[in-house]
Homo-oligomer: A and B are copies of this chain.
Amino acid sequence: MADSVVLLSGGLDSTVVLAMALEEGRRPLALSFRYGQRHSRELESAAAVAEHYQVEHRIVDLDLSYLLSSLVREEEEIPSGRSEEEMESSIPSTYVPGRNIILMSVAAALCESIGGGSVHIGANSVDYSGYPDCRADFFQAFEDMLALGTRTGSEGRPISIETPILFLSKAEIVAEGRRLGAPLEKTWSCYRGGGKACGTCDSCLLRLKGFAEAGEEDGLDYEVEG
């Protein structure tokens, strides 16, 4: 029986978080969402990663298409070729209002319902400093809220929110994944959902830079190597 929930998007970061939870001896359940994202290719990667590790995998349908963001709205353009300064200068257009809050709420509810003790999320405040829901003080506040608003919390067994890669650079995440033998080549990071990764969106640029700085080979095919 699972004792924890890992939010598994199918991307690099959440896959490394799953590998870290397993190394710690947890028995995680992997949770993914079908939330109207354009890049549903991610979900195939999540399934492949869960299968690789032989962990239970749940995909929950969650319609978030009514929330404004280019990640879910077809008509808005995903930015290409931006510098890190541009990525950091403001809250990105790929910010989905309340997205992590909703995903973590469902994960915490599922965790409580299986009697688990922790929710693991691959949030990162280095590369995603512009996202308010990727900051350390937010995760602490979420944990405090859970301690008060759940049965397990009110019974003195609060669910913890684990953010093991919050302060790692992308190169450090890649290196940690390699050290743990995680199937990084099965992960998907691109915001666009094509046959190959685009190589130019914020997420591809960060991934490429991470592999380069870690001195590791990325197993993915790219349209353009940024």
* Shortest beta-carbon distance from A9 to chain B in Å: 17
B63, A63: Cβ atoms under 8 Å?
no
A151 CA / B108 CA spacing, docked (Å) = 22
Across-interface contacts of A100 in B (CB, < 8 A): 149
Task: State which size class the interface on A falls in.
Answer: 35 or more
* Set of chain B residues within 8 Å of A60, measured between Cβ atoms: 63, 66
A58 CB within 8 Å of chain B: yes
Within 8 A of B (CB), among A81-119: 91, 95-102, 105-106, 108-110, 112-113
From A67, A91, A151, name the one whose CB has the most chain B CB atoms within 10 angstroms. A151
Tell me if B64 and A61 are in contact (CB < 8 A). no
Q: Bound complex: CA of A102 vs CA of B135, how far in Å?
A: 20
CB atoms of A97 and B68 under 8 A apart: no
Give me 19 A-to-B residue pairs in the complex whose CB atoms sit less than 8 angstroms apart, sorted by A's number.
A58-B66, A64-B109, A66-B110, A66-B113, A67-B109, A97-B110, A97-B112, A97-B150, A97-B151, A98-B113, A101-B145, A132-B150, A132-B151, A132-B154, A138-B145, A141-B141, A141-B144, A141-B148, A144-B145
